[in-house]
Amino acid sequence: MNEVVRLALEEDIGTGDVTSRVCMPESRMARGRFLARERLVIAGLDLLGEIYQLRGGVEELSVLKHDGDSCAEGEVIATVRGRARTLLECERVALNFLQRLSGVATLARQYADAVAGTGCKVLDTRKTTPGLRMLEKRAAAAGGVTNHRIGLFDAILIKNNHIAAAGGVRQAMDAARSSGLPIEIEVRTREELREALDSGAGHLLLDNLTPAEAADWVREIGGLAKVELSGGVTLDTVRAYAEAGADFVSAGAITHSARAMDISFRLELA
């Protein structure tokens, strides 16, 4: 992750933190505390060490939580001691990562808790911030959901446009088997469903159904394949989809709509 962190620091600091340069001598030492300003699930803590290391290091960094831990309002997440200039020039980048990734982890935990006891797993998606996918996927997992595909390279997911380009469900399934990768296929009609099952599909994606419609489709599938439901899944509806009998429910909102959590950095002279 060093490259992502390096780019973030370069973007913010540029040729130097001019405010810190004029306000304090280079030798001045300080301590800082990262504080949760609301209840949250923390993520991204391992980036703190990388951030400070890339700016010359600090004398002491104490991380008091682990990714996936719950934090109460007012709880100290981590402390750091070093040159005041270093702490200040790294402050915004550190907070941006912690706030964003903790937002993903917090929302992921809410989704995971919402389906507890159903036997259904919540999946994340590829709807991530460009360049931050691995970080956001790790944050989602820390929150308790299951990582789905990392990218286009690690599993086969045949969707409607692939079916159209291949000439049909059976043609797409037959061609995909040569990859040796896990295969999932989206079906939009009962005809496509029957064709997919007849072609040996073991993992089906059903998109944009209501919970009641999904339950009807799941009954027809009758355990012949694993079922993933997606499309319009929210915190208010995810349990209903899980109770429809799905093995998996995927929610892009976990990464594309998570809000930044309120985390602050308090500095004092050492």
| 12 phi, psi to nearest 5 deg | -85, -40
Look up tokens 């040569």; give the residue: 178
Sheet containing 226-230: give its strands across.
Answer: 121-123, 248-250, 226-230, 203-207, 183-187, 156-158
Q: Is 65 a catalytic residue?
A: no
State yes or no: is 226 an active-site residue.
no
- List 186, 195, 228, 247, catalytic entry: 186
Indicate which residue of 33, 92, 149, 226 is catalytic.
92
Question: Active site residue: 33, 37, 126, 159, which one?
Answer: 159
Task: Count how many residues are written for the chain.
Answer: 270
Catalytically annotated residue among 31, 127, 133, 188: 127
- Catalytic site residue from 69, 75, 113, 207: 207
Catalytic annotation present for 121: no
DSSP character string of 131-180? T-HHHHHHHHHHHTPBP--SSTTSSEEE-HHHHHHHTSHHHHHHHHGGG-
Q: Which residues are catalytic?
A: 92, 127, 159, 186, 207
